Chain A
């Protein structure tokens, strides 16, 4: 598997991306503050690589995924796809960029229009982008259906006739319709049964091998991300706290938050007691009023006075392991 890219620019390069949502109050919609959902995130994804993005609910990982596709407008920062910053692209330029990046959604039940046959859902993207039309488009849909493990005859069925796992395959088929280079998978398996999860993750892996796809794989479950990712980024309250190669992250987690997450992965050995002292206490603070300094200091077992004042920067070590912690 290629982790480094042959071309000079990485497939996706995100620089200091911020997505803030205004909080409107009162009759005249006065802006009372901002939800800092994504607050200065920088990441790169190379051709053929899977970057896992983990974090708990409210950490901004889904917003980050949508910002990269401009499904929500980023407040500032750059999103470079093949070296081109799309945050300033016009509507028609954006239309062309969309062929390169597609998305798979979390909820397979709300991500397919119940009134349109699934084959037409997939064909729509092909027709809209003028890739093919008529019979040719239908043949393409059949090919894609085979690729994701569905029967060609199923193109005429409606979404309600499929199981959750099959629906997610259709969602993947829709994303593949434009032959993208990067797929943003926003918790694609968290709504599925564990046995089905494995099948869908295998499908993702197979597609990557066959088509050389890159993934931004968003999840809240480290165990799931571990199966598919080459590198893993850990997000907390709108910021990246740690990025490392998969094995490195599990063997040698350096941020206290990552340590807690890794310690929380259940082991199949009943004799190993989960370390209760590693369990994090409390909830994630509100992204509309994040703590000063290191955002994790309110829950960090190791917090020092300076953690409350100084914002730790993401420091990259020689091995490519990056951590944002004063103590690491």
Chain B
């Protein structure tokens, strides 16, 4: 496999400026057909968030009991749900809630969890013991219980849902990051950093973490779908996104009751969730390989 380093890696060592390097690196990333596919799909999905009002045919909350549970037709390409609301329009609007909750939660969990895990693994000793025991306490409580408790205290708003869903992801990212940091910190190139007197913070963020991103990217892409589904559990228990605001998770969960005779209510949001998962998983994989100067599939 050929190798193109990402722009951040060569800053200062080449005569080209950062933007040219980024463009070249990006073009090389898109040279792979799989990367083009995943990147295109991701862009389309994110575009939905912005242009939802323009492509949704009906308002997402327009109730029409006369047309309840009607199958896909020209008027309603994805059918209608039990209240006669257009499934297509709700799926399009649902992208807003589901994708933003998913992305923000995973991003927040990643930044916090990786920092906690990296510091814990790097420092070791009693700091590591204390941090990891706290992480284990949170892991031993079912995630949904923590989320429920938090949302019932803070009230079911978007930020509190994101916070509630993040707690679990923080612990997951912390554990994965800690494990990778433990293996990387004993490499000789880290010892060499100590030998020139580099600060711990610089060693962690410049030398250790970039060599840990493989497992972290994979975890992030897996957790994205996981978060979107967990949100539906919260909604199901009345602590998540409140009706009539649509979210994919809620639509899948609510549609369950009608699955045998009106499968379209669940299947279409499920399809979009599936596409999201595929897009982000492939994008994550492609990004991981692209960022690895060895060019291999080293995780």
Chain A residues in the interface with B (C-beta under 8 A): 66, 69, 71, 94-95, 98, 102-103, 105-107, 110-117, 119-121, 123-125, 128-129, 134, 138, 155-156, 158, 160, 171, 174, 177-178
Contact A115 B196 (CB under 8 A): no
B139 to chain A, nearest CB (A): 20
Residues of the A chain whose Cβ atoms lie less than 8 Å from the Cβ of B10: 117, 120, 156
The contact sample of 10 A-B pairs, CB cut-off 8 A, is: A95-B197, A103-B192, A105-B188, A115-B210, A116-B206, A120-B10, A121-B189, A125-B196, A158-B294, A171-B192
Contact B13 A155 (CB under 8 A): yes
For residue B194, CB closer than 8 A to chain A, the reply is: yes
For residue B195, CB closer than 8 A to chain A, the reply is: yes
List the count of A-B residue pairs having beta carbons below 8 Å apart.
Answer: 84
For residue B191, CB closer than 8 A to chain A, the reply is: yes
Residues of the A chain whose Cβ atoms lie less than 8 Å from the Cβ of B195: 69, 71, 98, 102-103
Residues of the A chain whose Cβ atoms lie less than 8 Å from the Cβ of B198: 124, 128
Residues of the B chain whose Cβ atoms lie less than 8 Å from the Cβ of A155: 13
Contact A71 B191 (CB under 8 A): yes
What is the chain B residue whose CB lies nearest that of A177? Answer: B196
Complex formed: what's the CA distance from A128 to B198 in Å? Answer: 7
Complex formed: what's the CA distance from A123 to B196 in Å? Answer: 11
Residues of the A chain whose Cβ atoms lie less than 8 Å from the Cβ of B194: 71
Contact A120 B294 (CB under 8 A): no
Contact A128:B196 (CB < 8 A) given known A114-B294, A160-B294: yes
Contact B196 A116 (CB under 8 A): no
Residues of the B chain whose Cβ atoms lie less than 8 Å from the Cβ of A158: 3, 5, 293-294
B84 to chain A, nearest CB (A): 55
Contact A111 B189 (CB under 8 A): yes
For residue B36, CB closer than 8 A to chain A, the reply is: no
Residues of the A chain whose Cβ atoms lie less than 8 Å from the Cβ of B210: 115
Contact A129:B196 (CB < 8 A) given known A114-B211, A120-B12: yes
Contact B192 A160 (CB under 8 A): no
Chain B residues in the interface with A (C-beta under 8 A): 3, 5, 9-10, 12-14, 187-189, 191-198, 206-207, 210-211, 291-295
Contact A120:B196 (CB < 8 A) given known A71-B191, A160-B293: no
Contact A111 B3 (CB under 8 A): no
Besides A71-B191, A111-B188, 18 more A-B contacts (Cβ < 8 Å) are A66-B191, A71-B195, A95-B197, A103-B195, A106-B188, A107-B188, A111-B192, A113-B189, A113-B207, A115-B291, A116-B9, A116-B206, A120-B10, A128-B198, A138-B13, A158-B294, A174-B192, A174-B196
Complex formed: what's the CA distance from A106 to B3 in Å? Answer: 27
Contact B211 A115 (CB under 8 A): yes
Contact A123 B5 (CB under 8 A): no
Contact A178:B196 (CB < 8 A) given known A112-B189, A113-B189, A156-B14: yes
Residues of the B chain whose Cβ atoms lie less than 8 Å from the Cβ of A125: 196
Question: B293 touches which one: A103, A115, A119, A121 (CB < 8 A)?
Answer: A115
Contact B211 A113 (CB under 8 A): yes
- Max count, chain A CB within 10 A of own CB: residue among B14, B192, B293: B192
B161 to chain A, nearest CB (A): 36
What is the chain B residue whose CB lies nearest that of A92? Answer: B197
B150 to chain A, nearest CB (A): 33
Complex formed: what's the CA distance from A123 to B13 in Å? Answer: 9
Complex formed: what's the CA distance from A317 to B191 in Å? Answer: 38
